Homo-oligomer: A and B are copies of this chain.
Amino acid sequence: MRFSLERTDGQARAGTLHTAHGDIPTPAFAPVGTQATVKAVTTDQLHQLGARLILANTYHLYLRPGAERVQRLGGLHAFMGWTGPILTDSGGYQVFSLSATRKIDADGVAFRSHLDGSSHRLTPESAIAIQHSLGADIIMAFDECSPPYDRRTNEQAMSRTHAWAQRCLNAHRSGEQALFGIVQGGVFADLRQESAQFIASLPFAGIAIGGLSVGETKAEMHAMLEVVTAELPPARPRYLMGVGSPEDLVEAVERGIDLFDCVLPTRMARNHAALTPLGRLNLRNAAFADDPRPIDESCDCTTCRQHSRAYLRHLMVAQEMLAATLVSIHNLRTLIRLSEELRQAILEGRLAAYAAAFRASFRKHRSPEI
């Protein structure tokens, strides 16, 4: 993997991540395919809506169908029929947020599966080995993500994360997979600074920021981004994990982030909510029963080109699966189109104006429905 930085505009950056499965122009938003599928969306539809990178979850795939099985079937690209770049997380976040019970020590984490209660253990070394089996283009160091506000907990988690980062690098074999390190530190500026300096000092191919968008305020997230990105070397890509919404993307790109992933667009779609640059629509609302307009007049997705709000509402009221597919396509396209527009604005040196217009429009139209 190689990252080329093409242009900066303030702190914002436009670049390209070159991988064995294709180039990823940045800033880029990656749809999440937790169980080796972006829920309700085919790989053809993902290509069509402009996805250049997708994420899959190591925790889920390790438990089911199993990493060795995926490897025997040709690796994650072949398994899910996606020819573009893939990123896998390390499983750490899900062990802490999903597993039935967990016990952490200096070596790793013992946990019980949320599926069947079976006992498992993840360590930096096994998390890397599993990700080697899955075969994603970008893989992540095993880290500990803690709630944002307790200083003692965050100090401990950061310190484990740093020790594990070094062990992940030692366990990683050279090859086509690029390993990213993860910065932690909660909402504490000094911890974030220390973590960013330490992770940046190691030979990771890219640097991720974890533990944000987990309960802290927007102002705190923005402050932490500024502290961290100030410490990061420009030549390596920066990935803000688990973010975000359209408004979060704009703010984070302005602060120098290159990569994003989030379940928000697909999860909202399954809950009847459509994202637009002007806010969110609850499409199940009776007000849309006779509305012949697309979700977003300005959108170029297949859903907006072919279907009305009235039709989408009908599908939702009738509990038709197609609703989730069509709105997921729209919501993903909205995030990806936004990342394309942000990139273009950076390349043309007009990001500040673009972001100001986005914020003004968003404040004016923001729907109170969701």
> Using a CB–CB distance below 8 Å, which chain A residues touch chain B?
35-37, 39-45, 60, 64-65, 69, 72-74, 79-81, 289-290, 292, 302, 306-308, 310-311, 314-315, 317-318, 320-322, 324-326
CA–CA, A369 and B81, complex, Å: 27
Give the oligomeric copy count: 2
CA–CA, A64 and B310, complex, Å: 12
Contact B79 A318 (CB under 8 A): no
Of B74, B292, B302, the contact of A42 (CB 8 Å cutoff): B302
Q: List 22 A-B contacts (CB under 8 A).
A: A35-B314, A35-B315, A35-B318, A35-B320, A37-B320, A39-B320, A39-B321, A41-B322, A42-B325, A43-B306, A44-B306, A60-B318, A64-B314, A65-B289, A65-B317, A69-B289, A69-B290, A73-B310, A74-B292, A80-B311, A81-B307, A325-B325
Contact B292 A81 (CB under 8 A): no
Contact B320 A321 (CB under 8 A): no
Residues of B within 8 A of A72 (CB): 290
Residues of B within 8 A of A308 (CB): 73, 79
Most buried by B among A289, A314, A317: A314
Residues of B within 8 A of A310 (CB): 65, 69, 73, 79
Residues of B within 8 A of A315 (CB): 35, 37
Most buried by B among A35, A72, A317, A321: A321
CA–CA, A64 and B315, complex, Å: 10
CA–CA, A69 and B65, complex, Å: 46
CB distance from A128 to the nearest CB of B (A): 23
Query: Nearest residue in B to A72 (C-beta to C-beta)?
Result: B290
Kindly list 12 other residue pairs between chains A and B, CB separation below 8 angstroms, not including A40-B322, A65-B317, A80-B311.
A35-B315, A37-B320, A39-B322, A41-B322, A65-B289, A65-B310, A69-B289, A79-B308, A79-B311, A79-B314, A80-B307, A81-B306
Query: Nearest residue in B to A40 (C-beta to C-beta)?
Result: B321
